[in-house]
Chain A
Amino acid sequence: MPSLPSRIIAIAERRLGSIDAYYGPVQPLIDGYRDGQFFAQRIRTLSQTKGDEITVILQMLHQIKNTVTVVHGARGCAAMQNYLESYDGHGSPVFSTNLTEDNSIMGAEEVLRKTILAAVERHKPEAVFVVTTPIVAINNDDVQTVAADLGEELNIPVVPIYADGFKSKTSANGYDIAYHSIAGFLTAEKRATDKKLVNIISSDGSEEDVHKIAELVTSIGLNPNIFPRFGLLSAIRNSSNAVATIGLKPDSRVIGEFLEKERQVPYYLLEQPVGPEATSRWLGEITGKTGNKSEALEFIKSREKKKFDELVADPDTNLSGRKIYISGDIYTAIALAGLVKEFGGSVTGLSIANIDKNSVALLDENYKKNGWPFNIHIGDGQVFEQANILSRDTPDVYLGAAEQAVHAARLGIPSVNYAPMPLYGYDASIKLIRAIVRACSNRSFVEKLGSYTSVYNRSSWFGKNPNWYIKQEVG
């Protein structure tokens, strides 16, 4: 890895002061990060499952074209490929080294080597990703050497991604680990800056949204260079020649900052273009940052404004008087909060997967702008805490990713899963607004779910503060 100082990157907690456990007023959280300080780490003394570094990495790698991923671990560490392959489809192949108890004791470098060779023989990929797992972190397999040897032998990049699965509490740390390796192994030296080329970092989200972003960027006369998801390795190699890198979420930071520092490509993390206002702002910022004076922009803004005015006149897109609880990663949640407001609704609570020294500024800005009176919840999953919060907040609608939305629905709350919906651009999010209105207008299914039995001891748990099992970490 010629361009990087070390093979691994420090975990998000140490690097960024990332936390994934908090419930309380917004201001103390923001204050905790003032003057370069980190908010004090919290732990949970009762927790529920959630995604981890490995799940985040696998969903990302699955959509990098002409590559193969080898998960070096027990078969369960790659189990989600069943989901990715059958629902996401057309992704890159996933192999498992399927480690046994013997491998866990004696090491499994040879198993890894053979699996990589088999994967390359079968698919002739342009690169192989090797994702490590807890067993490998403990038995200390020398993955680096296996990868380096095979990279030389096969003459393709064999990229180790050191996901121990237990180093960080923050699943988004998986993006950082993956981008650290991608930066070192797959980017190329800068040749010359292409003033029309803009890197767009696509770590997650739908293909439809990625296409929309490409369309928006193209509409103002720029050429999008999209990676890693739904992109080619050539896009990663070419990223060093771009005029700017645009991140849609903080998960792009490691690759963005690498390109900025090592390849002199400025990196901008912008608010997501969700809804008319944010999309116009987003396009304006890109034209400004790239020095690309687009005459088309004002025309697009005024055309889309007219379309939008027609849309909000429709009662099916009116959220007036609706109280909405939003959960998700901070950039998406804040973008959705803006959208809800734009369509006349109000935000009654926020649950954010994690927050760190970088993303707290966005929260601060929006908190000042909106004066949210509610407590904020920081937690990835942790639906028992959310159940407690929702029993107090009683929103009209819960807006969250699928696996969380269903748990809100089980409480009898109309819920909408925004994850598979297109969000980016002027009018894509109209589908989401309509889904919210639909969820409010026919509650029959969630009412049935709400009347069904619950796993929670309501009298005991719902009487306690939702932060009961969140404690400040000592030492």
Chain B
Amino acid sequence: MKNMESLRTQCALQGALSAANAIGGVIPVVHSTAGCAYQNYLAGGLANGGQGAGLAGGLAVPSTNIVEKHVVFGGSARLREQLKNAVKVFEGKLFLVLSGCTPNLVGDDSKAMVEEIETQGYPAAYVQASGFHGSAYTGYELAVRSLVDFASKKTASPLTTVKGLINIFGIVPGQDTFWQGELLSLSREFSAAGLILNPLFGFNQTVENWKNIPHASLNLSLSPWGSGIVEYLKEKFGTPALKRSFVPVGAEDTKQLLLDIAGKLNFDEKQINNHAEKKEQEADYFISQFAEAYFNFNFQTDFSIAGPLSQAVGISRFLAYNLGFTPKTIIITDAPQLKDEPIGDILPHIDTKVNVFFTEDGNEISGLLKKGNPGLILGSTIDRITAEEKGAAHLSISLPVSDRIVLNRGYAGYSGALNLIEDIGTVLLKRRTQK
């Protein structure tokens, strides 16, 4: 049994709820005890760069708030009543029922209640996401599968494919702090390269975008948590899948990802290369400017990082391969099952040995970050205390983040790397002035 102090990841119900809150027009209906959705708001909304939880999030989430009599006599009727009334009060394009621990333990038939409201002409779907089923990442996977099934119900056969349309999975709302920024940034990069990204979550994304999923030419996964989804879609619609375990940060990894996609789609590589060349010129221009501060203030440093795999590896690779920083310790906090890529293949390999750990125990993370006295610690806001103790610079990049506001900022792609340089440069400067 692993110690579980200061867990950074919420439960499956809360992960599914964060996913639902990130899609316009989806009204989540939580079938559980009162505090489940409220804790999601505190942990995944406020303590995640102050992002909040959307219009139907926070205290606005419809929740059956079941009590003892529903445990004793069953709560299906309570859910029926809740759904019947919710459709009258809320404007929704989809009522997504998320069923938590208690109703699942007592055997409520949430699925039947959803089918019942559907027969009345209201769009509804169901996710059985008990907290004990796993972490928020599992909840994300469960919600996505349910949403895919709902959105593809009326897909006409044979399927038409839109050339260059790519669905993206694995960047997890409510858990990955920069999820909105990463999706926006990658959408822009893909569009400039002649591809069309279907981000599915965030700004301007509604149930309508989910209906386009079957028509994509490719399903892309950028973390282990999208891996099972793209396999599911391959089975369901025959769409090819491309699986990567990390979000690309900076020119090299972004270009490589685009070229890998082009290879999968038989897409014109020349177009990708032209785009990459322009973006690299732009990035080089700013990086060249950064050189003045870099050398004036001796920015080159070693670093340790704690966060979900996709982010920790993506950022580490950029810092190691582009900024000349030396990775010391990489702590993976979402403990994924790495089936697709051996961890050793994707980690940055510099002249020193990188220590890699998989843990989400807060106390253990603090201990690991302290080792080796890195000059820069990237982790959660809680890790700031460790950084201060060791005199290291600190940047919050993973949950919980409560010392900065994160709206559309991201580190993915070409422009994201410049954001990362700005943020890291700023904390390194601050540490210098504080000494």
Interface positions of A (Cβ within 8 A of B): 44-55, 73-83, 85-87, 93-101, 103-104, 111, 114-115, 118-119, 122, 134-135, 137-139, 164-169, 171, 381-384, 403-404, 406-407, 410, 453-457, 460-461, 469
Contact = CB atoms under 8 A, between A and B. Distances in A.
Given A101-B130, A115-B4, A119-B5, A74 B11 contact: yes
A319 B372 CA distance: 57
Interface in B303-355: none
B64 interface: yes
A85 B400 contact: yes
Contact of A383 (B59, B66, B86): B59
B37 A104 contact: no
B59 A403 contact: yes
Contacts of A94: 5-6
B65 A47 contact: yes
B89 A384 contact: yes
Contact of A138 (B14, B102, B134): B102
A138 B1 CA distance: 23
B132 A99 contact: yes
8 contacts: A46-B82, A46-B85, A76-B14, A76-B39, A118-B3, A165-B33, A165-B102, A169-B34
Contact of A167 (B10, B68, B363): B68
Interface stretch (B41-49, B181-189, B207-215): B41-49
A50 B67 CA distance: 13
| Residue among B7, B89, B362 having the largest count of chain A Cβ atoms under 10 Å | B89
B60 A407 contact: yes
Nearest to A52: B35
Contact of A45 (B9, B81, B105): B81
A296 to B, nearest CB: 40
Given A122-B363, A134-B101, A165-B33, A79 B4 contact: no
A461 B27 CA distance: 16
Interface in B64-111: 64-68, 70-71, 81-82, 85-86, 88-92, 101-102, 105-106
A48 B60 contact: yes
B132 A79 contact: no
Contact of A98 (B7, B59, B400): B7
B47 to A, nearest CB: 4
Contact of B82 (A47, A95, A168): A47
Nearest to A84: B42
Nearest to B106: A138
A373 to B, nearest CB: 27
Contacts of A98: 4, 7
Contacts of B68: 164, 166-167
Contacts of A101: 130, 132-133
* Nearest 6 pairs of A and B residues by beta carbon: A76-B11, A74-B131, A52-B35, A49-B37, A46-B85, A86-B402
Contact of A457 (B64, B90, B381): B90
A137 B55 CA distance: 33
Interface residues of B, number: 74
B101 A135 contact: yes
Interface string B222-263: 000000000000000000000000000000000000000000
Interface in B115-134: 130-134
B176 to A, nearest CB: 14
Given A76-B131, A82-B8, A460 B89 contact: yes
A457 B89 contact: yes
B62 interface: yes
A55 B90 CA distance: 26
A51 B37 CA distance: 9
A94 B101 CA distance: 21
Contact of A454 (B34, B35, B66, B91): B91
Contacts of A407: 58-60
Contact of B132 (A74, A80, A460): A74
Contacts of B12: 76
Given A101-B132, A460-B88, A87 B47 contact: yes
A55 B40 CA distance: 11
Given A76-B36, A101-B130, A93 B5 contact: yes
Contacts of B63: 47-50
B193 interface: no
Contacts of A73: 101, 131
| Residue among A75, A80, A164 having the largest count of chain B Cβ atoms under 10 Å | A75
A104 B101 contact: yes
B215 to A, nearest CB: 27
Majority-rule SS of B interface residues: mixed
Given A49-B59, A138-B71, A76 B400 contact: no
Given A75-B9, A95-B3, A460-B88, A51 B400 contact: no
Nearest to A137: B71
B30 A406 contact: no
B399 interface: yes
B407 interface: no
Interface string B390-433: 00000000011111000000000000000000000000000000
A456 B89 contact: yes
B7 A79 contact: yes
Given A101-B132, A167-B68, A407-B59, A86 B380 contact: yes
B59 A79 contact: no
User: In this complex, which of A80, A384, A404, A406 has the most chain B Cβ atoms within 10 angstroms of its Cβ?
Assistant: A80
B91 A455 contact: yes
B38 interface: yes
Given A81-B7, A95-B4, 7 more contacts: A45-B82, A49-B61, A51-B38, A80-B42, A137-B71, A404-B59, A455-B27
Contacts of A381: 38, 59
Contacts of B64: 47
Nearest to B34: A52
Nearest to A139: B105
Given A48-B62, A76-B14, A86 B101 contact: no
Given A46-B82, A454-B55, A469-B85, A166 B102 contact: yes
Contacts of B217: none
Contact of B400 (A82, A104, A164): A82
Nearest to B92: A455
Contacts of A119: 5
A382 B34 CA distance: 11
B35 A165 contact: yes
A179 to B, nearest CB: 19
A382 B62 CA distance: 9
Contacts of A171: 34-35
A384 B60 contact: yes
Given A169-B67, A457-B88, A47 B62 contact: yes
Contacts of B61: 48-49
Contacts of B46: 83, 87
B382 interface: yes
Residue among B9, B39, B41 having the largest count of chain A Cβ atoms under 10 Å: B39
Contacts of A139: 105
Contact of A82 (B38, B399, B403): B399
Most buried by A among B55, B101, B135: B101
Contact of B105 (A49, A135, A168): A135
A86 to B, nearest CB: 4
